[in-house]
Structure 1
Amino acid sequence: MTLLVLFAVLSVCQCFLLDSNCPHCNWNGVCNTQSGKCTCYEGFKGTDCSTDCGCQGHGVCTQDNTCVCDSGWKWSKSLHKCVWDCSCSNGVQCIGPGVCDCVHACKYGTCWNGQCECWEGYKGATCNVFDKNIMMNRNISVGMNLGGLSYWSPELKFVDIVKQSQEWITEHHTTHQWDTHEHDTITWRDDGYPASLPSDMLVGKLVLRASAGTHGPQGNFTLLYDGDGEIGFSLVRYTIHYNGKGRMLVEFHEGSGGIFIKIMRTNSKNPVHNIRLILPGFEDRHELFPFYPPFLENIKRYSELRFMDMLHTNGHTPEPTTWDTRRLQNFHTQTGTKGCAIEYLIHLTNIVGADPWFNQPHAADDDFIRHFANMTKASLRPELKMYIEYSNEVWNGIFQQTKYSKQEGMKLGLDTHDWKAGLKFYNKRSTETVDLWKAVFGSDSDRLIPVWAWQTGYHDYTRQAIVDLGTRASHFKGLAITGYFGCDHVTSQSKHDITQLSMADIRALCKKDLPKSINDFHYFMNMSKTYNLKLLMYEGGPGLESSRNNNATDHAIAFNRHDLAEDATADVLEAWYDIVTADPYNTHPGGLFNYFASVSTYSKYGSWGMMEFTGQDPYTSPKYLAVHRYINRHFNNQYMGPACSFVLFNNTVYGCYRQNNQNVHCGMSTDHGTHWTNYPLLSTNTSALILDGYDVINHAIFVRNVDDIAVNTFYTMDTSQQYLQWKSLTFSDYYRLVSPATVRRRMTNGDHHGININQLDCN
C-alpha cells in the first residue's frame, strides 16, 4: 500500500499531458512525465498497468498477480477477483462486504446485516408496527426550517459530502487561474459530469468550505467513483493512504479553505462519474443510509420539517419548471437553483417521522405539481401529513418569484397595478396548486395541509390579499405568518448604535419589542378565525441582521450567542403559545411554531441558525435551549429513546436497561437475560441510555446518553478488559466508530429475539 503526502502549494503535475514519452497506463494508473513510467493504482501491475490483480479497489497485489483483499472481502479463485465476504444464515445473500440481507423485508425501515433498522415510530422485527409513543416529536407543535445545501453550509446533512458540493468550475493544467468559465467548450452528460475533457483542461468543485471544514469530521475519507480517469485534490493538505482505481482513502488535514476535488482527465469512452466523498466511517453504510446521523439526531424532536431552502424555493429555476428539468438523485450535486431531489426529502421525513412542508416552485407547471404529488403519495409513510405551500413570500420584492407573479398577473389582466396583479396571481396559483394535490390524493386528501401565507408586518396588505382570496379560503387549512423579532430594530443605524449597547440593553429592547409580536399574533388569530383557517407560523425566531460595519455585526452575533438570547426567544415562544397554540379553536395544524433555521453561519446577513454547525454543543446555543425548554414546558412528551436497547452477538446479549425503577445500567448476559452483569454506572442524569452497537472485532460497545432536552453525549467501553472503564467520545468519532459493518447494530424496539426482559423496565 502506498503512502503519499501531498501539499496544495506544490506545482501542478503534468502527468496528464501525455506525449510520446509517456504511455496511457490503460487508465489503470498515472504517468510520471519526468520518468516516462506509470504509477499503477493499487490492484494493477505492469509497466503499462495492464495486469489487473482483481482487487476491485479493496486490496493490494501479490507477487503472483492475485490480491490480498480487505476486511469484508475475500479472494475468489474462480472469478480471479475480490468479492464480498459474508457468513449469512438462513440462506440469505450478501448486500455488501460483510453485510447480510434480511430474511424478511423491512416494511418501514432498512435492512442492515440481517436485521431491520426501523424509521422513528416503528418497531418489530420487520418494522411493521407503528407506535406513536416511541417518537421524540409526538404531540410537539414545533417545526424546523432546514438550511439550504451549499459547499459552505455548516449543516452536514449527507454522509456523501459531494451532494453538498458546488457546480463545476473550469481550469487549465498549465496556469493557475481560478475558474476560466469555459463550460461551453465541454460536452456534459445528463448527470452533470463531463463526457470528455480537452487535454489541457480540468474541472473541479469545492466541498467543506469555511466553517463546514473547520468543524467537519476528521479521519480517513473514502473517495469513490465510476469510470476511467484521474482524480486530484487541492487547497488543503492531505495524505492518501490507499489509491485504488475507483476508490481512495484520503486524510484531509484541518482547514477552512475547503477541499477542491478535480477531475484531471477522463476517458471519453468511459468517463469519470458518480463521484462520492464519504465522511470517515460511513463507507459501508452510505448507500442505504445517506444522511449524517448527528444531523438526524438534531431534528428528531420536531414534528414538521420545512424544505423551503432545501428546495431552493427563492429563485427556483428554470422558468417554466417541468418534471423533466427537476433535480435527480444521480446528478453530480444536490446544490443549485433546482433544489434537492424530492426523493431525498421524502426519505428524510420517513426516517425521522416528521410531516414535510413542501414549497412548490413558483414557475412549476401543472404536470410538475401532479408528479410531485404522486411521488409523495406513493413514497411517504402512511401516518404523515403534508404541508403544501405555493412558493415562498411571493410578496417579497427581493425574490424572483415576486417579479414572476407580477409579470404573470399582468399578462392575465388580473389588475392594472403590478403589485396587486402579483397578489391576485398568488391567490390564483396557490388555489390551483392545492386543487392539483387534492386531485392526486383523492379520498386521502385529509392528509394535506394547504397553507396560505402573505406579509406579516403590514396588516392591511394581508387584509387586501385575503379579501381577494375570498371564498377560495376554503381550499386551505392554514394561514401562516412569521414570528421574527428584531428587538426594536436594534441593528438599524437610524434608531440605535448597537455597538454602544450592552447585552442587557439589547435584551431590554427585545422586551420593548414584545408587544408588537403580541399584537401580530392577536390580529392574525382573529383573521384566521374569520376565514375558518388555523393559524400557524412558517418562519420565526431572532432576526438581528447588521451589515452596517464589522463592529455592529460582531455585536449582533455576540447577542445571539449570549444567555440573554434564550430569554428573548422564550418571550416570543410563550406569547405565541398563550395566544395561538393554547387557543381551543386553533387545534392541529394550528399553533405550529416553525423556527428559522436549523443551522447557519453567523454573519452580517443574520444569525438565523439555531446552531452554528452540525455537532455544536447545544448547551452553547441559547436559542436551542429556549426552544427545547419551551417544548418541555408545554408538550407532554419526554420520550428520548428506548428504555431498553440490546445487541445480540453469538450467545451474548449486550444491553442498556432500567431495573426496578433505579438508575439506567448497561451490561451483558450470557443466558439470554436471565442474569445480567452490570457495567460501571455511566450517568445518573439521563432520560435515555441507548446502546447503538457492539464492535465484534474490538469488543467495544457504543452508548449514547440523552438528557431531557435531547442533548447527546457519547461513550464507548472495551468489554474485553479486566478493569472496565467508560471513555467519552466526540460526536464525530462516535459515529465514525459505530458505523462500519464490523459493528452489530441494536435490535429494533419490540424485537427481543427471546431475551428475557421480565426483570427489566422496558416500557
Structure 2
Amino acid sequence: MAGWRGRGLGLAGQAAFTLLALALLVGIAVYALPSPSHEGRPPGLTAEVLPSPAPTRIGINLFGLATFNRQQVFSNLILQSEWFSSRGDGWTAFPSEQLDPQGWVRFLRPGQTAPRPLVLPPAPFHPVEIGCRFEGRGLIEAGGLARLRDRTAHGFMLDMAPTGAEEEGAWIELAETDPQDPVRNIDCRLSGRPAAERFSPEFLSFVRQFGIIRFLDWQRTNDNVLPRWETRASLQSATQVGPAGASIEDMVDLANRTGADPWFLMPYQADQAYIRQFARMVHDRLAPGRTVYVELGNEVWNSMFDAARQAQQEGMTLGLGDGDPMRAQMLRYAQKLRDAMRIWTDVFRDRPGRLVRVAASQNAWPDLATIVLDDEDTVRWIDALATAPYVWMELDGYGVGDVDRIFARAPAAVEATIADALTHKAIAARYGKRYLSYEGGQHFVTANLDLARTLQRDPRMGRLYRDYLAQWDSRIGGELLLYASTAPVADYGSWGLREYAGQPPGEAPKLRAVQQFLARRP
C-alpha cells in the first residue's frame, strides 16, 4: 500500500510539486524536466514528446492470505491461518517452541487447546459439507459455524452454513495430541474436491482475468523480517501465512496455472545467498514464455514502513546524502537495489528479455526517483521506474451526507494522479527506461465505516474507475497493477476490487468497471 499520497513531502516540496501539477493541469505544453547530472544520457523530455502509450496491461496485487480477507485461495481450508493457544478464556499466539519445523503442534500443555480458523468458501453462500483428514493420534473439535460429525480415527466431517455476515467464522480446535505421534498434515476441503487440488477453482478463475500478479502481501514484505532460506515456507508447511509468507513454489505455480506474469519483492533484509536462491527457484520453476518482475522491498521511501526507517538509519550511518535524511534513505535504497538486481541479472542471463527489474518511487515526489536513478550506475541494473498512482482524497471530517461532494471532486483527483504519473513517465524516458505502476486505484481511507461502505458501493465509484482506466490507457499505457484483489471494507482502507470471494460484479462497482475495461481489450 502506498500510504498517504503526500507523506514526507515537506513544505518546499509540496509547493514545488503543486506548481508542477497545476502546470500540467492547465496544459502547459513545454514543460521540461531538469537534465540529469550524468553525461551521455538523453536530454530532458518535454510533455509533448513523451513516448506514446503502450498497450495497457492490467495486473493485480493479491491481498493477504488471512481468513478475514474472505477469499478462499487454497482448497485446504486451513492453509490461510495459524494455530492459536486457548485455555478457555480467549485466544493468544501459539508458542513457537511447541511447533515442529513444518508448523504442526508437537504437544499441548495441560489445559491448553489449539484453535485453527477455517477460511469460508466463496459465495453464493449455502450449506456446505467439508471432509477433514489427518495423520497422527489425537482429538479435534470444531467451533463457530462448523459442526462436527462422523468422526473416525483419522478424519471427520464438518457441516457449515455461511451467510456472508462480516463477523461470522469457523474453526477446528486441537484438543489432544500424542507427543509420540502428533496430529499433523490436516486437510479440510469441500466434499468432492480432489485431494491433490491446491488452489480453489473460484480463486483461479478470478486471477485469470489479470496479466500480472504482484505478491506483496503474500510475501508479508512490509513485516521486514530477516529471511532465512532454511526456514522459508514450502508446499509441505502447515500454513502459508507464517512469518516467512507464502511459499515461492505456490506463487510461481499460481502464475503458471493462470498464465500471468509474477511480480516478486526481495525482502529488504535478505542477504545475497537468499536472493540468489529465490531467483534460481523462480528461474527453474516458471513456465517458458512467462516474464518475471522483481523489486527490492516495498515503498522504501515510505516512513510508515519499517524497511524505510531502516534504510534511513543505515544511510545516515554510512554518511550518505550530505546529512539529508531523506536523500540518505533513497541512496541506501539505490545501493541495495543494485546489489539485488545484479544477482537477478546473473541468474536470468540466459533469458534477459524475461526479466523486468523495477525501481520504485513516490508518485507525488519526483525528486526521489531522480535521486535513485542518478546514483552511480543504478540505471544499468533496472529496466523500469514504477510508482503507485492512487486516486487520493482527504476524507477527514466527511460523513455519509457528503458523498455527493466527494464524488464531485473525483475527476480532478483522477487528473492530478495522471499528471503525477506523466511526470514519472517523463523521468523514466529520460533515462531510457519504462514507466509502470506497482499499485493503483482508489485511495479513499476513512475510519467512518458507514462512509467507507457508502463510497465503495456507490455506482459512481465504478465511474471513477472507468475514467481512471481510460485516462491511463490514453495518456500513460503499459502495466497498471491495481491494489487489491479481495478484501472487506475496513478502517485501514477498502482496497478490494470486491469485498468477498464470489461477490456478484453488479454489487462490486470497482470490479465491474475493471471487467468492462478488460472486455474491450484485444
Same fold (TM over 0.5): yes
- Name the structure 2 match of 1:598: 485
Pair 1:499-2:408 in alignment: no
Which of 67, 77, 84 in structure 2 is aligned with 1:151?
67
Pair 1:480-2:386 in alignment: yes
CA distance in 2, matches of 1:465, 1:442: 24
Alignment map for 1:318-717 (pairs within 5 Å): 319=226, 321-415=227-321, 416-468=323-375, 471-486=377-392, 488-489=393-394, 491-493=395-397, 497-503=398-404, 505-547=405-447, 550=448, 553-581=449-477, 591-633=478-520, 635-636=521-522
Contact 1:213 1:257 in 2 (8 A): no
Pick closer, same or farther for the CA change 1:531–1:216 going to 2, 3 Å.
farther
CA distance in 1, matches of 2:116, 2:460: 40
Deviations 1:467-490 (A, max 9, x none): 33x53212111111112112x43x
Pair 1:142-2:51 in alignment: no
Pick closer, same or farther for the CA change 1:445–1:225 going to 2, 3 Å.
same
Pair 1:250-2:166 in alignment: no
CA RMSD in angstroms, aligned pairs only: 2.1
Contact 2:138 2:183 in 1 (8 A): yes
Pick closer, same or farther for the CA change 1:508–1:608 going to 2, 3 Å.
same
- Name the structure 2 match of 1:194: 105
CA distance in 2, matches of 1:215, 1:601: 16
Contact 2:122 2:502 in 1 (8 A): no
Deviations 1:15-47 (A, max 9, x none): xxxxxxxxxxxxxxxxxxxxxxxxxxxxxxxxx
- Name the structure 1 match of 2:83: 168
Identity value in percent: 27
SS of structure 1 residue aligned to 2:235: coil
Using the TM superposition, give the Cα deviation of residue 237 of structure 1 relative to its aligned residue in structure 2, in angstroms: 5.2
TM-score norm. by structure 1 comes to: 0.58
SS of structure 1 residue aligned to 2:98: coil
Contact 1:215 1:613 in 2 (8 A): no
Pair 1:223-2:132 in alignment: yes
CA distance in 2, matches of 1:563, 1:180: 41
Pick closer, same or farther for the CA change 1:216–1:208 going to 2, 3 Å.
farther
- Name the structure 2 match of 1:103: none
SS of structure 2 residue aligned to 1:430: helix
Using the TM superposition, give the Cα deviation of residue 429 of structure 1 relative to its aligned residue in structure 2, in angstroms: 0.9
Using the TM superposition, give the Cα deviation of residue 217 of structure 1 relative to its aligned residue in structure 2, in angstroms: 6.2
Pick closer, same or farther for the CA change 1:446–1:324 going to 2, 3 Å.
same
Contact 2:162 2:168 in 1 (8 A): no
Which of 129, 145, 148 in structure 2 is aligned with 1:236?
145
- Name the structure 2 match of 1:65: none
Using the TM superposition, give the Cα deviation of residue 257 of structure 1 relative to its aligned residue in structure 2, in angstroms: 3.4
Using the TM superposition, give the Cα deviation of residue 218 of structure 1 relative to its aligned residue in structure 2, in angstroms: 3.3
SS of structure 1 residue aligned to 2:411: helix
Contact 1:217 1:279 in 2 (8 A): no
SS of structure 1 residue aligned to 2:351: helix
CA distance in 2, matches of 1:464, 1:333: 40
Pick closer, same or farther for the CA change 1:530–1:418 going to 2, 3 Å.
same
CA distance in 2, matches of 1:367, 1:237: 44
CA distance in 2, matches of 1:564, 1:180: 42
Using the TM superposition, give the Cα deviation of residue 182 of structure 1 relative to its aligned residue in structure 2, in angstroms: 6.9
CA distance in 1, matches of 2:424, 2:383: 14
Contact 1:456 1:462 in 2 (8 A): no
CA distance in 2, matches of 1:392, 1:159: 29
- Name the structure 2 match of 1:313: 221
Pick closer, same or farther for the CA change 1:140–1:294 going to 2, 3 Å.
farther
CA distance in 2, matches of 1:606, 1:162: 26
Using the TM superposition, give the Cα deviation of residue 604 of structure 1 relative to its aligned residue in structure 2, in angstroms: 1.9
Using the TM superposition, give the Cα deviation of residue 533 of structure 1 relative to its aligned residue in structure 2, in angstroms: 0.7
CA distance in 1, matches of 2:255, 2:184: 28
Select the structure of larger CA radius of gyration.
Answer: 1
Pick closer, same or farther for the CA change 1:239–1:193 going to 2, 3 Å.
closer
Q: Identify which of structures 1 and 2 has the higher relative contact order when contacts are C-alpha pairs closer than 8 Å and 6+ apart.
A: 2
Alignment gaps of 5+ in structure 1:
1-138, 582-590, 637-763
Higher relative helix content:
2
Alignment gaps of 5+ in structure 2:
1-54
Contact 1:274 1:332 in 2 (8 A): yes
SS of structure 2 residue aligned to 1:479: strand
Deviations 1:337-376 (A, max 9, x none): 3210111001100001100001111111111111111111
CA distance in 2, matches of 1:262, 1:384: 41
SS of structure 2 residue aligned to 1:291: coil
Pick closer, same or farther for the CA change 1:539–1:158 going to 2, 3 Å.
same
SS of structure 2 residue aligned to 1:398: coil
- Name the structure 1 match of 2:199: 291
CA distance in 2, matches of 1:410, 1:570: 44
One-letter amino acid of the structure 2 residue matched with residue 516 of structure 1: A
- Name the structure 2 match of 1:696: none
